[in-house]
Amino acid sequence: MRIATRILLICLIPLAAELLFFGVFLLLFQQLQEQEKSVERYRRTTVEIISIRNLIFDQFRYLHQYALDRDDDTKENALACGPRIDGSFAKLARLLAADPAQESRLERLKALSKKWSNFVVNVLRKFPAGGDSRSSVSFMAGSMVDFSVPEFREAVKDLLDNAERASRDGELQLSNARARLEYWMVFGMAANLLITSLFLVSLSRGFSRRVSSLLESIERYAEGSALLEPVSGDDELALIDSQFRNMVESLDTVRNRERAILGNIQEVLCSVSLDGFVTQVNESVVTMFAMEAGAVLGQHVSKLICDPSACNDLLSCMVSVARTEVAATVDLSLSGTAGETLDVMCSVSWSKPESSFFVVFHDVTLRRQFERFLRESEKKMRNMIEAVEAGVVRLDQNRRVQFANSAALRLIDREERALLGRDLDSVLNEIYIARDDTMAVETEAFVEYHRREEPFQVIVVGRSAVSESDEQVQIVTLLDITDRVKVERMRADFIAMVSHDLRAPMSSISLFLEMIIDGKYDSSMERLKARSKATYVTAFQLIDMLQNLLDLEKWEQGMFVVSVEELDSRALCLRSVESLEALAAAGGVTMRVELEEFYVLSDELRTLRILSNLISNAIGHSGKGGTVTVGCARRDQFGYFFVDNQGEIISPREQQEIFKKFRQSGTGRKGGAGLGLTICQQLVQALGGEIGVRSQEDTGTRFWFTLPAS
């Protein structure tokens, strides 16, 4: 049996077992999925039951409050609970559709809920808003007997207990299913490993012995000893052993032939008479000139070289050597056997006793190619060094400049001829001031230099010692870090600004709360409400600033995650506007909406965050008496959202940088930490949309963004 067949069996049998185990695993996995769905259904059932109970109790509380104060808002809240209760019953009916026992309990609860809803509607119709509360209170007290709260509680408890019991049973069955799945996984892997191991052991016992015999024969041949008996069998090992023995016979034949040759010489060696005829030549002439040695003997040397120019160069060299009796070399370009160009160095020496030339043709094509390669590599290396943004300078052992690329010359502000041979430190000190703190990183030392005069510039100079043969040189790198230093300064200014922005509002909130706690705030209720509203606005601004900082940190650490779902664009805008109405009212700003109804694919919390940042930014820049318009419209495959305000116009230059981190407006308008718009841009990009700003004198300022529409 061939090795390939054996290996195929080793693969097929475990594979068949693996397929069997996979089928069992798939069946168990499907059962596990069904059980998980059942458990999730009962969990959702429990949630909906609790929701119904809470909604009815909330409606009861609103109805009781309405009986006392007969207020329109309380009436609306009581009526709003009805559709939500119906919605929860609809969801519950879908969840319990497959459970007849629970459906009967649900019908009982729905009947009680219907009785309660009719009672609520009768009370609200009978007693309109603004009337005397005593009549409504007495009516409720007399009519509540028709609605049994204990019976309602019992119905809810009965339905809830059965749902929780079914959920616990499902959890137990789910746990058992997982245990069975784990058992079959472990059993399948163990059985597969056992079957594979048995087949491998069976194969290796006969395989290793014959491999050892073949390896020992190879070692014996290397030592010059006799070979072992041939490997038995008809598989690949036996074939390899047979080919090895054929190779040994061929090598022995070649070895005997090589011993008959005077060395393995690649160069063409020939003896040439004074009049230029070849008298002796070795077999290498075949390789270089594609001519047999016998055919070359007695021929003029010009027959070897077809190129007339190269032939004249060789003959001129031979005449010169014969006259001076001094050996010489001449470089020739010849055509090879395959038509390629060969670089040949011809060495010519004169033997006076024999009155003949000894001529050696050296094929130096590879050497010439290597030399050209080195020159091209050096040129490429110089081009690479010239292309890098960092300056690179090479100093000799006396710290004198030997080489400097264009970037280094630009940073040092010197021409190359004015820099070569000079001490680099003295040149740097003419332009820059070195800082005292030196930083060492492994074998390199870095020093920071600041330019003495304008414009502001900071460079870092790194030095690395390199040993070249018997010379110790230095490679110096110069890197312009001006932009990085500016960013660090901006970051420091930002931290100081955030510290100030946090300290002042927190002090105001703390002082206001302290006055209330100590009883020192004895103003009227209206002033207290106004002060509380101002405190709320301050707290909202603090929370907004902290949320921006947290979102930015998550983004920079790669921890930012979005969860995309189908969302109602109109509802998103309305929620954002409602959450900021207090902030707008405190600033004397009017809120308007222009909304179209469509759906987008987005993350709900992130989208609300974008709208909140843009709206609060517009409120802060509108001023008292201003108007902020929030709108949305569908445009092709995207939802288009916008926030308009009539505040000061943003210049075109500011529009280009307004979404950059730590950037604030330079027009004197209210500014924050400079993060809100940056967060908006990152969120929109993460959600697959675009964001921008448009600001003109006649139309005001509009911040807009798009999201994929569903």
Same domain, 237 and 279: no
- Residue 164 predicted with pLDDT over 90: no
Beta bridge partners of 706: 640
d(CA 460, CA 378): 27
Within a domain: residue 383?
Answer: no
Range 482-497 average pLDDT? 67
Domain-ending residue, one of 219, 239, 259: 259
Within a domain: residue 207?
Answer: no
The predicted-structure confidence for 383-397, as pLDDT tens digits, reads as follows: 887 777 788 888 888
CATH of the domain at 703: 3.30.565.10
State both tokens at 74.
């309380």
Same domain, 461 and 499: no
Same domain, 601 and 663: yes
Same domain, 559 and 499: no
Same domain, 331 and 392: no
Q: Which range among 61-65, 97-101, 298-302, 346-350 shows the weakest confidence by mean pLDDT?
A: 97-101
Report pLDDT for 530.
65
Within a domain: residue 274?
Answer: yes
The predicted-structure confidence for 195-226, as pLDDT tens digits, reads as follows: 777 767 766 666 677 777 778 888 887 777 88
- Residue 261 predicted with pLDDT over 60: no
Report pLDDT for 602.
94
Q: HEC string of 585-633?
A: HHCCCEEEEEECCCEEEECHHHHHHHHHHHHHHHHHHHCCCCEEEEEEE
Same domain, 450 and 505: no
Report pLDDT for 524.
60
- Give rounded-to-5 percent helix, strand, coil for the chain: 60, 20, 20
Report pLDDT for 567.
95
Range 171-182 average pLDDT? 76
Same domain, 663 and 575: yes
Per residue in 545-572, is it b (16+ CB within 10 Å) or e — as a string? bebbeebbeebeeeeeeeebeebebeeb
Within a domain: residue 377?
Answer: no
Domain-ending residue, one of 369, 402, 427: 369
The gap from C-alpha 547 to its chain's centroid, in whole angstroms, comes to 24
- Residue 411 predicted with pLDDT over 50: yes
Report pLDDT for 333.
76
Same domain, 81 and 105: yes
Report pLDDT for 540.
65
The predicted-structure confidence for 66-84, as pLDDT tens digits, reads as follows: 778 878 888 888 888 888 8
Report pLDDT for 527.
65
Domain-ending residue, one of 259, 280, 297: 259
The predicted-structure confidence for 513-551, as pLDDT tens digits, reads as follows: 766 776 666 556 666 666 676 676 667 666 766 766 676
Within a domain: residue 146?
Answer: yes
Within a domain: residue 652?
Answer: yes
Average pLDDT over the chain, rounded to an integer: 78
Within a domain: residue 664?
Answer: yes
d(CA 466, CA 443): 10
> Using an 8 Å Cβ cutoff, are 512 and 531 in contact?
yes
Range 7-34 average pLDDT? 73
Report pLDDT for 670.
46
Computed from CA positions of residues 194, 197, 203, 206, in that sequence, does the dihedral angle turn out positive or negative? negative
The predicted-structure confidence for 651-690, as pLDDT tens digits, reads as follows: 888 888 888 765 555 444 444 545 678 888 988 998 999 9
The gap from C-alpha 328 to its chain's centroid, in whole angstroms, comes to 65
Same domain, 474 and 502: no
Report pLDDT for 592.
95
- What 3-state class would DSSP assign to 346? strand
Same domain, 358 and 414: no
Report pLDDT for 262.
45
Within a domain: residue 221?
Answer: no
Report pLDDT for 691.
95
- Taking the CA atoms of the chain, what radius of gyration do you get in angstroms? 47
Domain count, the chain: 6
CATH of the domain at 436: 3.30.450.20
Higher pLDDT, 100 or 657: 657
The predicted-structure confidence for 335-352, as pLDDT tens digits, reads as follows: 666 667 778 888 899 988
Same domain, 456 and 472: yes
The secondary structure of residue 290, as a DSSP letter, is S
Range(s) of the domain holding residue 240: 230-259
d(CA 706, CA 585): 28
Report pLDDT for 669.
42
Higher pLDDT, 503 or 344: 344
Same domain, 438 and 344: no
Band the pLDDT of 614: cuts 50, 70, 90: very high
Report pLDDT for 473.
84
CATH of the domain at 167: 1.20.120
Residue percentage of the chain with pLDDT more than 90 = 11
